[in-house]
Structure 1
Amino acid sequence: MIDDIWVDPAVRALRPDFAVLAVGAYGLRNGPTDDRSRAWLAGAAGEAVGVEDPKVEAWREAYRAFGAKPQRTRPSVDALVRRMPLPEINLVVDAYNTVSVRHGLPIGGEDLARYEGAARLVRAAGDEPFEVVEKGEPAVDHPEIGEVVWRDDRGVTCRRWNWRQCVRTRITEETTDALFLLERLAPMSLEELGAAGDELVDLLKVITPGVRVESRLIEQG
């Protein structure tokens, strides 16, 4: 799965400093938030980067580059560091949110069982389906033309780079195989990106000692 992930040249042209560390985790035993993950979240709240951290500002700049307004639709890490205490979702989501705010790093989590085809980061044509829930009912939205989106063969899985995930591929307590996308812009170093990936894997191994993990760094060029 992770060997097929790709980034469109149009996105590469927008931010040549972009890199993504893809982590696949197989055989997870997810579950509701417990005392372990509450401790992770509490610790991360005390160690989180600030909203003015250069790594967070880099994502606001990236949003402006494709026409988004980051004060209205915030990059995921920007939204998270403003939301303390961190929300309790489930063990796996708690784990990657913990790593995200500590490093100032957007992290997306996807349920591989609900994926269709390879993940790819592209600039949208504008007609791709994006599955959401509005007023408690399933609905389909569409990205703006030129918007940076993650997608698979069925449609958009995350709008505005890392702003909002579709309901179809989100990680639930029933998720067993997952894809994590750790997204880096300068000034974050590739070394810190790798360290964040290692921290995430360590937490996943606490959740599921026998989890099988693979990773791949996707850089520009």
Structure 2
Amino acid sequence: MLPGRDDEVTMYFQHSDAIWRDFPELAPGLIFAPGISTDVSVDDRLARFGEIAAKRLAIASEGELPEIQAWRRAFSKMGLKPTRYRCASESLLRRFRKEGSLPRLHPVIDLCNAVSIAYAIPVAVFDASRISEYVEVRHAAGDETYLTFSGETEHPPAGEVIFADALGNAHARRWTNRQSGYSAIRDTTTDVLIVAEALHDTARQDIESLTATLSDELSTLWPVTPKSAILAPSAPRFEFAGT
């Protein structure tokens, strides 16, 4: 998507009132970056952020980190067993601790995963062209559709926290547990929506740091000008340009 195109529409991301009510400690950071491609190297960034994660894991396991403990409490509050369903950053940290590295998928995914383990905060990245009108983090009605990475279709049960769009696509299940294959980043992806969310005591300042760091990395690696914001109950919506 190029600036000034006639087919641009205004899209948005937000959390439902019920999510803000149940999790007032929530601090979300949003980034929209149009113009992403695969022809960049992120090797030095992965090494730098991986070193930060390794130093933290040398002192405490991922389950002992305050960022992860806060998400475990949230999963318990949602009725999920936190050692069965883990937030994305905990899953990445577990794999990084065991294997010493993370799988390489796409430069922007690899960068977001590296930032995620450095901060121990879930970072989701979506192909914005696969989103219909908006994304709202809300409780499922029970009729939404979730596409797994293996191509299977699921319907999250009513009450589960999902990332839903206007067509009832569930772009993530169990909040920060697992993204959908439907809006996964592909080699043809150009416009990305990045969502980072935290719940721990210093969540807001850490999200501000993460969002600024990731925005700087994006604008350094690609010829893009990211748009970013930190959301709050008083300013709950992030608007971005879609097609």
TM-score (norm 1): 0.89
Match of 2:93 in 1: 81
Match of 1:24 in 2: 32
User: Per the alignment, do residues 191 and 2 of structure 1 end up closer, same or farther by CA in structure 2, a change over 3 Å counting?
Assistant: farther
Check the 8 A contact 1:41/1:86 in 2, yes or no.
no
Q: Distance in 1 between matches of 2:92 and 2:199?
A: 17
Provide the secondary structure at the position in 2 that maps to 1:119: strand
Q: Distance in 2 between matches of 1:153 and 1:204?
A: 28
Quick one: which amino acid aligns to residue 23 of structure 2? R
Cα deviation for residue 36 of structure 1 reads 3.5
Q: How does 1:122-133 map to 2 (within 5 A)?
A: 122-133=138-149
Quick one: which amino acid aligns to residue 229 of structure 2? R
Provide the secondary structure at the position in 2 that maps to 1:13: helix
Unaligned runs of 5+ in 2: 1-8, 235-243
Select 1:152's aligned residue among 154, 165, 170.
165
Quick one: which amino acid aligns to residue 129 of structure 1? T
Cα deviation for residue 45 of structure 1 reads 4.1
Cα deviation for residue 202 of structure 1 reads 2.0
Unaligned runs of 5+ in 1: none
Quick one: which amino acid aligns to residue 140 of structure 1? T
Q: Distance in 2 between matches of 1:11 and 1:207?
A: 34
Match of 1:212 in 2: 225
Cα deviation for residue 79 of structure 1 reads 0.6
Quick one: which amino acid aligns to residue 170 of structure 1? A
User: Per the alignment, do residues 42 and 218 of structure 1 end up closer, same or farther by CA in structure 2, a change over 3 Å counting?
Assistant: closer
Quick one: which amino acid aligns to residue 75 of structure 1? C
Quick one: which amino acid aligns to residue 67 of structure 1? G
Check the 8 A contact 1:29/1:207 in 2, yes or no.
no
Percent of pairs with identical residues: 28
Q: Distance in 1 between matches of 2:113 and 2:158?
A: 29
Q: Distance in 2 between matches of 1:67 and 1:203?
A: 37
RMSD: 2.1
Residues 160-184 of structure 1: CA distance to partner in whole angstroms, max 9, x if unpaired?
1111111111112221110000102
Match of 2:184 in 1: 170
Equivalent pairs counted in the alignment come to: 217
